[in-house]
Chain A
Amino acid sequence: MNTRKTMTLNLTEAEMQVLGSLSEKKDLSKTALLRQALRMYQLIEARLENGEKLFFEDEKTKEKAEVMML
């Protein structure tokens, strides 16, 4: 892994709670969770910029809903 740099993050109480709850659910540290979120954000952004759309599909009904990214 490449050399890492440290930064301070300012989060609201609500954001901190979500970060804590997601990292517990995913069994990841807060740093690992944020790193994972950054990878995902970059991927989604690149594909949207490439002209693709982001959808959620209901597994049972197969209904699709586009996630509008503005």
Chain B
Amino acid sequence: MTVRVRQVHLLNVERCQPEPAELWDAVTEQQLTDWENEWVPELLKAIERLEREGIESRHWPQSSHWNWRKKVEALRGMLASPGFSIVCDGLTQGMMIVDTVKKRCRIDNQKGKPLVYVEFVENAPWNRRELCDSPRYRGVGSILMRAAIELSVESEFGGRIGLHSLSQAHDFYAYLWHDGPWRRF
């Protein structure tokens, strides 16, 4: 499999400076290994901490049951379901799987037109404000959303994308829509 790698930048929160990163147009074995060896233990630690602090389980990460290996293996080789990932500091910082076939636009003036539908998108646990006091990197979600929009443009879908967000992520998408880089498209 040929992976296209593009240079991007994430914001290193501690240094308050941009740091070079890579946007891959695939989720490879390297990402799945990072997920198993780095993400899952970190996520479990964060959940244990939330539990100790008496946070109700409905406030725990809603994506914590996602098994990226199963998802990627089920979709391997499928043209309709490309994946993307961001690598920075030698580690996977975010992953996304989109669908280009099964969903269509619903709003009246675009009804029935094709779009890129974001099936799954997740940030590494150490970048999530709800899981750690000082996230390492910012910009992962925005770059992945931009990748979905660029795929939509390349596929001649006019930049149209769609998703159903987990309720914990509503604020993020509201930010992108009203104030964020989304406005440029």
* Contacts between the two chains (Cβ within 8 Å), count: 41
Q: Which of B53-93 contact A (CB under 8 A)?
A: 78-81
For B156, give its contact among A28, A39, A40, A46 (CB under 8 Å). Answer: A28
Q: Which residues of B contact A2 (CB under 8 A)?
A: 2, 4
Residues of chain B whose beta carbon lies under 8 Å from any beta carbon of chain A: 2, 4, 25, 78-81, 100-102, 112-114, 154-158
Inter-chain contact B155/A35, CB cutoff 8 Å: yes
Task: Say whether, besides A26-B113, A39-B101, A32 and B156 are in contact (CB < 8 Å).
Answer: yes
For B114, give its contact among A28, A29, A43 (CB under 8 Å). Answer: A28
For B79, give its contact among A27, A29, A32, A42 (CB under 8 Å). Answer: A42
- Is A38 in the interface zone, CB < 8 Å from B? yes
* CA of A40 to CA of B168, assembled, Å: 32
Inter-chain contact A39/B100, CB cutoff 8 Å: yes
Inter-chain contact B4/A1, CB cutoff 8 Å: yes
Q: Which residues of A contact B78 (CB under 8 A)?
A: 39, 42-43, 46
For B80, give its contact among A26, A28, A32, A39 (CB under 8 Å). Answer: A39
Q: Which residues of A contact B102 (CB under 8 A)?
A: 43
9 CB < 8 A contacts A-B:
A1-B154, A2-B4, A27-B156, A32-B155, A32-B156, A39-B78, A40-B101, A42-B78, A43-B79
Inter-chain contact A40/B114, CB cutoff 8 Å: no
* CA of A55 to CA of B4, assembled, Å: 36
Q: Which residues of B contact A38 (CB under 8 A)?
A: 79
- Is A17 in the interface zone, CB < 8 Å from B? no
Most chain-B Cβ atoms within 10 A of its Cβ — which of A26, A39, A40, A46?
A39
Contact flags (1/0) for A19-51 with B, using CB distance below 8 Å?
000000011110010011011101100100000
Question: Nearest Cβ distance between residue B98 and chain A, in whole angstroms?
Answer: 12
| 6 nearest CB pairs, A to B | A32-B156, A39-B80, A39-B79, A43-B80, A40-B101, A28-B156
Inter-chain contact B4/A36, CB cutoff 8 Å: no
* CA of A38 to CA of B101, assembled, Å: 10
Q: Which residues of B contact A43 (CB under 8 A)?
A: 78-81, 101-102
Please, which residue of chain B has its CB at the minimum distance from the CB of A43? B80
Question: Nearest Cβ distance between residue B1 and chain A, in whole angstroms?
Answer: 9
Q: Which residues of B contact A40 (CB under 8 A)?
A: 80, 101
Inter-chain contact B154/A36, CB cutoff 8 Å: no
Q: A2-B2, A39-B101, A43-B81 are in contact. List 4 more A-B contacts (CB 8 A).
A: A1-B25, A1-B154, A2-B4, A26-B114
